[in-house]
């Protein structure tokens, strides 16, 4: 484990479903040491599994920490969020300093799914944070490997 | 935690566990070149900054290959960071030094650093840090 020089940091996001085209999913994972893993799988049109790995700098990690802290996702909980279903599931796991969250919910198609849920405020924090994280990861992976990540 | 690394991979990903592609490199420390250039992260960017502002600040140091100034998906303002890619290491390195010392972008100081680094030495991944 990391020593006390850095706050412990871990971030993992998964979104996917199993359907006609196999297990279609997107997942990325960050560790304190900067290792970023990205995986994207779809069997649509015989598409293959894309798996990339790289190491981001401490500056990038600290920017992810800032974005997460500002979102205040740590204050939320998923007890009233819609459960994963046939349409899909999302998982978000974050360790940031002493805080640890592990959320599981269904896919969220749009802000309307958020508004009509039992915890619109909490789910809205999640909804926008996920978009910001994906945007950042897609830029990093796309630029580093010159590939176009699929949403 | 040390020896469990491969188990970790197998749990997370069925099938072709642990087979992640990466760009070739020697081991760290130091910045890592991306597929065709050197990518910098810029932080602390003014909320209302535009791509042109970032472009103008950085193109003083050399031709820019790519620039991502991502927006906050909720507010529509910039999220606060940008990724800037130069072809040449020297241009990127000059930009880091020059821009960190400057007034920044839109009058707000920014912090520039390399975005990617070489994989840490293999030994360092498995062992706990020195006592």
Instruction: Answer whether B1 sits within 8 Å of A67, measured CB to CB.
Output: no
Query: What does R_g of chain A's alpha carbons equal in angstroms?
Result: 16
Measured between beta carbons, the chain A residues lying within 8 angstroms of B66 are 143
Cα dihedral A78/A79/A85/A87 (nearest 10): -30
pLDDT bucket at A129, cuts 50 / 70 / 90 = very high
**Identity of the residue in A55, A136, A139 whose CB atom sits nearest the CB atom of B117:** A55
Closest chain B residue to A56, measured at CA: B116
**Average per-residue pLDDT in chain A?**
90
d(CA A38, CA B48): 31
Instruction: Answer whether B70 sits within 8 Å of A139, measured CB to CB.
Output: yes
Instruction: Answer whether A143 sits within 8 Å of B1, measured CB to CB.
Output: no
**Identity of the residue in A37, A54, A66 whose CB atom sits nearest the CB atom of B116:** A54
Closest chain B residue to A37, measured at CA: B20
B62-116 pLDDT per residue, tens: 999 999 999 998 999 999 999 999 999 999 999 999 999 999 999 999 999 999 9
B15-66 pLDDT per residue, tens: 455 689 999 888 878 999 999 999 999 999 999 999 999 999 999 999 999 9
Chain A nearest CA to B34, separation (Å): 5
d(CA B38, CA B31): 9
A6: exposed, middle or buried (Cβ count in 10 Å: 0-12, 13-18, 19+): middle
d(CA B118, CA B131): 24
Q: Do the Cβ atoms of A57 and A37 come closer than 8 Å?
A: no
pLDDT, residue B50, reads: 97
Instruction: Answer whether A67 sits within 8 Å of B23, measured CB to CB.
Output: no
ipTM, 2 dp: 0.90
pLDDT bucket at A5, cuts 50 / 70 / 90 = very low
**Binding-site residues on chain B for chain A (CB distance < 8 A):** 1, 12-13, 16, 19-23, 28, 31-32, 34-36, 39, 41, 43, 66, 68, 70-74, 79-81, 83, 85, 111, 113-120, 124-125, 128-129
Strand order in the sheet with B78-86: B64-71, B78-86, B38-43, B111-114
Q: Do the Cβ atoms of A16 and A23 come closer than 8 Å?
A: yes
* Total Cβ atoms within 10 A of residue A137: 21
Closest chain B residue to A124, measured at CA: B74
Measured between beta carbons, the chain A residues lying within 8 angstroms of B33 are none
Say yes or no to pLDDT of A1 above 70: no
Whether A83 contacts chain B with CB within 8 A:
no
Lowest mean pLDDT among A70-79, A107-116, A118-127: A107-116
d(CA A82, CA A148): 30
pLDDT, residue B5, reads: 38
Instruction: Answer whether A55 sits within 8 Å of B116, measured CB to CB.
Output: yes
Q: Do the Cβ atoms of A13 and A90 come closer than 8 Å?
A: yes
Report which DSSP code applies to B21. Answer: B
């Amino acid at each position: 484990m990391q020593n006390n020089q850095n706050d412990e940091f871990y971030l993992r996001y998964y979104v996917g479903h199993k359907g006609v085209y196999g297990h279609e999913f997107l997942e990325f994972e960050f560790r304190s040491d900067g290792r970023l893993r990205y995986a994207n799988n779809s069997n649509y049109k015989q598409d293959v599994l894309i798996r990339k790995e790289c190491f981001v700098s401490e500056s990038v990690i600290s920017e992810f920490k800032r974005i997460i802290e500002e979102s205040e996702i740590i204050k939320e909980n998923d007890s009233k969020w819609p459960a994963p279903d046939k349409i899909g599931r999302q998982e978000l796991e974050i360790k940031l300093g002493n805080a640890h969250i592990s959320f599981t919910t269904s896919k969220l198609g749009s802000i309307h799914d958020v508004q009509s849920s039992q915890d619109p405020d909490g789910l809205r924090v999640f909804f926008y944070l996920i978009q910001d994280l994906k945007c950042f990861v897609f830029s990093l992976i796309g630029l580093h490997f010159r590939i176009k990540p699929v949403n | 935690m040390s020896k469990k690394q491969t188990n970790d991979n197998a749990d997370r990903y069925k099938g072709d566990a642990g087979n992640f592609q990466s760009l070739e490199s020697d081991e760290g420390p130091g910045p890592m070149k991306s597929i065709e250039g050197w990518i910098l992260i810029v932080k602390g960017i003014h909320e209302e900054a535009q791509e042109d502002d970032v472009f103008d600040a950085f193109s003083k140091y050399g031709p820019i290959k790519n620039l991502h100034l991502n927006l906050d998906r909720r507010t529509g303002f910039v999220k606060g960071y940008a990724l800037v890619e130069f072809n040449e290491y020297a241009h990127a390195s000059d930009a880091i030094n020059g821009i960190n010392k400057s007034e920044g972008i839109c009058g707000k100081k920014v912090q520039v650093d390399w975005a990617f680094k070489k994989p840490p030495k293999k030994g360092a991944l498995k062992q706990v840090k020195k006592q």
